[in-house]
């Protein structure tokens, strides 16, 4: 089957007729035949847009010198500049015109950027970090969010996002855990598929190509074949087979001792042959070079290029370091023409699907672009509200209308950095290029801002930082082997704290003593979590824990609000706090969302998508292995409180079911007993028969987020396929009969309803599962 034929067979996009297909395929082959070797290799590389600029305009001289044969990709084109939307659009248009009119065959470039918390461009709507969006348990919201990002990207001519990040993250010490959706493969797959569908849309020529990363197992899960195929691959499989994801990024790591960028078993045998991927495989930044410099799997840069492209990698990013040697390798007979042509064909096919070939680039319009219109801010606010998790509440929340004095303290109370996750525009621009964070573009609403804007008249708010995030970043960040180095982290630390006044702990305690309630905004910032920012000790950084203890000692109720990208150890202060909220990095509207939750205008509904450890030694930890009864975590997977109470009842479940049937139907009711409208997240777990050792003791197999008005109830039906109960062994998927227990819970440890179903029949063996997810309905 040809690449195009495979695309036709699995694509969920509208399918052109065969005459159109033949014409387009013929045109691509004719284009390839006209291209010189230099032009072909240029299509397999990226470049920095900033290197082609003269101030805020495109430099044609730089283009003619640096990309005379064209270029395949422009890497992180917006986050590496301080161009506003209109300037960005003009530069991209001018560059495409140069490529179309001044390079040998006039092939436009793909402009790509990050998008896990919205389009990473100056002034663009900044959404909650991906770990926070995970805690919404709302795939529909996520799909709408990424569709919004795609719309913004298309406005300036961008056509690819290096997102979503689908690593299964179970170790809170790892800095990049904030980019993930959490610890559960089924959940990550469900959210990842929603992300891809929203970004790419129904018509890719109007959407943005998504990238599944890091392929595969950058966060772990590669040492055991069974775990690799059942868990690590599942999110990628979902986006490839059911989302038609157009790009895959090879990770920095190795599998079986071979770097992913040069791993043929991974990129060809598994990704293309087993999963049916027909898009473009790109490198992570500098990972091709690392095949030689870090892993010594190649003897030099040229050999790294040969090994990578031969193994199925198509594009080197962020710019050509090893791939420029491909011409020399071709001349020396070290690589054949077909290998290069295959990679180029894939790049051209993606450009065709994106509408970049055949003069499909629209004329330039002099029209002002608003990257953060009111409807986007409304979406950012709703996303933040749903992402925040209430971890503890002894009745102090929502804050009583009798409260007249509120002390707001802590390093994250008034810092815009508390809102911004890694890979947002602000973080990337600061970390890589030293651009300071602009709190006005888009407007960033801090917790203090939100409280001041939303409390009733007569309520006095006093503020003092009280302590810094940390004495020194060097005391907090684990020294890890990464491609980034320490210098950028130092720059980021400087940019974040250089203009802040010194904290006054005495004043913070004094205003707390004189208040009715204390809101302590603690946790991490950009320089304490993110890529290359692992931490061995994940307690509150610096002197924050001691500061919270002093606040507790005042005798006034302390509401702890935790910002950051990972669960943090709060064992020593948890019991003394009256309430605890996990805010993550909540995006531009985070302050308003938090204020409305604290004041009772919004009922919190977020639930954890990863386990909250009690001690440093507990991490890594995840629910499906079963928690140690003598060493329970602080908060389990799926946990989150509300201002109302939900009653689960009336479970209906069959006593037996044939292994040959399509779906097992399970229904139940949830009633909202309280005085607040709210959204509950009901979770379906399955525990296998004890004799089936190949399955984990408990696994998520379905979930539904349902809004229920106070004193009302909803009936929920979840249909589970027997294929979801399969395990991997020797290249096959096996479903065994037996007595399975289906559990309906408010968390992985708070099981409200359960029933057993006997799966009858003979053991069933599949070459591939065709059903990965359950189906839901609400009445």
Last residue of a domain, one of 303, 333, 353: 353
pLDDT of 302 strictly over 80 = yes
Q: What is the band of 22 on the pLDDT scale with cuts at 50, 70, 90?
A: low
End-to-end CA, the chain: 45
Domain assignment present for 287: yes
Q: What is the band of 485 on the pLDDT scale with cuts at 50, 70, 90?
A: very low
State pLDDT tens for residues 693-749.
999 999 999 999 999 999 999 999 999 999 999 999 999 999 999 999 999 999 999
pLDDT of 325 strictly over 50 = yes
Spatial neighbors of 149 by CB under 8 A, at least 6 apart, are: 115, 118, 119, 161, 198, 199, 208
CATH number at residue 293: 3.20.20.300
pLDDT for 26 equals 83
What gap in Å lies between CA 698 and CA 445, rounded to an integer? 40
Q: What are the backbone angles phi and psi of residue 643, rounded to the nearest 5°?
A: -85, 0
pLDDT for 532 equals 84
Give yes or no for a contact between 284 and 42, defined as CB atoms under 8 angstroms apart. Answer: no
pLDDT for 518 equals 98
State pLDDT tens for residues 211-236.
999 999 999 999 999 999 999 999 99
pLDDT for 727 equals 98
Do 664 and 563 belong to one domain?
no
What gap in Å lies between CA 262 and CA 285, rounded to an integer? 14
Name the residue among 358, 385, 430 with its Cα closest to residue 28.
358
pTM listed for this prediction: 0.95
Residue with tokens 């969010």: 145
pLDDT for 135 equals 98
Name the residue among 129, 134, 171, 271 with its Cα closest to residue 214.
271
pLDDT for 9 equals 32
State pLDDT tens for residues 412-443.
999 999 999 999 999 999 888 888 899 999 99
Distance of CA 620 to the CA centre of its chain: 19
What gap in Å lies between CA 276 and CA 268, rounded to an integer? 10
Count of domains observed in the chain: 3
pLDDT for 359 equals 65
pLDDT of 393 strictly over 80 = yes
Q: What is the band of 484 on the pLDDT scale with cuts at 50, 70, 90?
A: very low
Mean pLDDT over the full length of the chain: 93
Q: Does residue 4 sit in helix, strand or coil?
A: helix
pLDDT of 100 strictly over 60 = yes
Domain assignment present for 280: yes
pLDDT of 496 strictly over 90 = no
What gap in Å lies between CA 342 and CA 332, rounded to an integer? 19
pLDDT for 434 equals 83
Distance of CA 99 to the CA centre of its chain: 32
pLDDT for 2 equals 30
CATH number at residue 759: 2.60.40.10
Do 618 and 663 belong to one domain?
no
Do 573 and 608 belong to one domain?
yes
Domain assignment present for 103: no
pLDDT of 504 strictly over 90 = yes
CATH number at residue 502: 3.40.50.1700
Higher pLDDT, 537 or 8: 537
Higher pLDDT, 476 or 523: 523
Do 228 and 301 belong to one domain?
yes
Do 339 and 397 belong to one domain?
no
Indicate the pairing of strand 751-760 with strand 656-658.
parallel
What gap in Å lies between CA 603 and CA 605, rounded to an integer? 6
Spatial neighbors of 717 by CB under 8 A, at least 6 apart, are: 665, 666, 667, 776, 777, 778, 779
Domain assignment present for 66: no
Do 570 and 708 belong to one domain?
no
Using omega within 30 degrees of 0 as the cis cutoff, is the peptide bond preceding 668 cis?
A: no
Mean pLDDT of the region 542-571: 97
Percentage of the chain beyond pLDDT 70 is 93
Do 206 and 304 belong to one domain?
yes
Last residue of a domain, one of 577, 593, 625: 625
Q: What are the backbone angles phi and psi of residue 776, rounded to the nearest 5°?
A: -120, 150
pLDDT of 750 strictly over 80 = yes
Do 610 and 659 belong to one domain?
no
What gap in Å lies between CA 642 and CA 392, rounded to an integer? 10
Do 743 and 694 belong to one domain?
yes
State pLDDT tens for residues 136-170.
999 999 999 999 999 999 999 999 999 999 999 99
Name the residue among 378, 368, 374 with its Cα closest to residue 127.
378
Whole domain around residue 736: which residue ranges?
Answer: 646-778
Percentage of the chain beyond pLDDT 90 is 88
What gap in Å lies between CA 146 and CA 149, rounded to an integer? 5
Do 621 and 673 belong to one domain?
no
pLDDT for 471 equals 76
Residue with tokens 């009280």: 466
Domain assignment present for 60: no
Do 693 and 620 belong to one domain?
no
pLDDT for 27 equals 85
87-91, 260-264, 468-472: the lowest-pLDDT one: 468-472
Domain assignment present for 56: no
Do 159 and 39 belong to one domain?
yes
Domain assignment present for 566: yes
DSSP string, 161-222: E---B------TTSGGGGGS--S-HHHHHHHHHHHHHHHH-S-TTTS-B-EEEEETTTTS--
Domain assignment present for 114: no
């Amino acid at each position: 089957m040809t690449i195009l034929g495979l695309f036709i067979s699995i694509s969920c996009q509208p399918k052109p007729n065969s005459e159109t297909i033949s014409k387009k395929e013929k045109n691509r082959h004719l284009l390839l035949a006209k291209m010189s070797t230099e032009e072909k290799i240029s299509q397999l590389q990226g470049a920095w847009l900033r290197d082609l600029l003269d101030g805020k305009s495109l430099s044609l001289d730089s283009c003619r010198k640096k990309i005379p044969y064209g270029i395949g990709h422009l890497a992180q084109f917006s986050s590496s500049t301080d161009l506003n939307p209109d300037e960005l659009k003009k530069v991209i248009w001018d560059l495409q015109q140069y490529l179309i009119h001044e390079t040998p065959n006039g092939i436009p470039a793909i402009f790509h950027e990050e998008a896990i918390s919205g389009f990473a461009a100056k002034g663009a709507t900044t959404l909650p970090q991906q770990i926070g969006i995970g805690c919404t348990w709302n795939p529909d919201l996520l799909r709408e969010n990424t569709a919004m990002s795609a719309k913004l990207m298309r406005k300036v001519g961008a056509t690819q996002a290096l997102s979503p990040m689908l690593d299964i993250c179970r170790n809170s010490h790892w800095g990049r855990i904030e980019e993930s959706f959490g610890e559960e493969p089924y959940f990550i797959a469900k959210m990842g598929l929603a992300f891809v569908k929203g970004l790419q849309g129904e018509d890719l020529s109007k959407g943005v190509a998504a990238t599944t990363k890091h392929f595969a197992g950058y966060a772990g899960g590669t040492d055991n074949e069974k775990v690799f195929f059942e868990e690590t691959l599942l999110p990628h499989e979902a986006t490839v087979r059911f989302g038609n994801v157009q790009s895959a990024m090879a990770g920095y790591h190795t599998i079986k001792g071979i770097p992913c960028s040069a791993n043929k078993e991974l990129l060809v045998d598994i990704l293309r042959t087993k999963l049916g991927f027909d898009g473009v495989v790109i490198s992570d930044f500098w990972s091709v070079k690392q095949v030689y410099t870090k892993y010594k799997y190649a003897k030099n840069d040229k050999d790294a290029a040969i090994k990578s492209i031969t193994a199925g990698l198509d594009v080197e990013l962020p710019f050509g370091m090893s791939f420029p040697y491909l011409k020399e390798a071709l001349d020396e007979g070290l690589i054949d023409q077909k290998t290069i042509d295959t990679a180029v064909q894939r790049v051209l096919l993606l450009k065709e699907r994106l509408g970049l070939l055949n003069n499909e680039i629209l004329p330039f319009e002099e029209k002002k672009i608003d990257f953060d219109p009111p409807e986007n801010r409304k979406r950012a606010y709703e996303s933040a509200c749903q992402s925040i998790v209430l971890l503890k509440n002894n009745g102090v929340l929502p804050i009583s209308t009798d409260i007249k004095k509120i002390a707001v303290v802590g390093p994250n109370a008034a810092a815009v950095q508390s809102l911004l996750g890694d890979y947002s525009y602000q973080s990337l621009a600061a970390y890589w290029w030293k651009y300071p964070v602009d709190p006005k573009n888009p407007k960033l609403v801090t917790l203090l801002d939100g409280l001041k804007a939303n409390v009733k008249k007569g309520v006095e708010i006093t503020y003092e930082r009280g302590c810094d995030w940390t004495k020194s970043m060097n005391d907090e960040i684990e020294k890890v082997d990464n491609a980034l180095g320490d210098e950028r982290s130092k720059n980021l630390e400087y940019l974040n704290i250089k203009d802040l006044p010194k904290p006054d702990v005495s004043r913070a305690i004094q205003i707390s003593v004189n208040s009715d309630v204390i809101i302590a905004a603690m946790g991490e910032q950009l320089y304490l979590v993110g890529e290359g920012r692992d931490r061995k000790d994940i307690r509150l950084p610096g002197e924050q824990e001691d500061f919270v203890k002093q606040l507790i000692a005042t005798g006034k109720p302390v509401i702890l609000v935790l910002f950051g990208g990972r669960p943090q150890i709060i064992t020593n202060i948890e019991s003394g706090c009256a309430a605890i909220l996990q805010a993550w990095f909540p995006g531009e509207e985070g302050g308003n969302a938090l204020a409305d939750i604290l004041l009772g205008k919004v009922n919190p509904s977020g639930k954890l998508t990863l386990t909250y450890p009690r001690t440093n030694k507990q991490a890594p930890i995840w629910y499906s292995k079963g928690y140690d009864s003598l060493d329970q975590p602080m908060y389990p997977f799926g946990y989150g409180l509300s201002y109302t109470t939900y009653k689960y009842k009336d479970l209906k479940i069959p006593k037996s079911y044939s292994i040959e049937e399509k779906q097992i139907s399970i229904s139940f009711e949830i009633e909202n007993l309280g005085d607040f409208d709210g959204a509950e997240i009901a979770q379906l777990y399955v525990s296998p028969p004890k004799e089936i050792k190949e399955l984990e003791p408990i696994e998520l197999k379905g979930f539904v987020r349902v809004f229920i008005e106070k004193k009302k109830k909803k009936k929920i039906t979840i249909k589970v396929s027997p294929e979801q109960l399969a395990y991997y062994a020797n290249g096959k998927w096996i479903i065994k009969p037996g007595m399975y227990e289906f559990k309906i819970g408010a968390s992985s440890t708070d099981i409200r309803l359960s029933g057993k179903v006997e799966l009858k029949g003979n053991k069933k063996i599949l070459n591939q599962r065709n059903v990965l997810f359950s189906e839901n309905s609400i009445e």
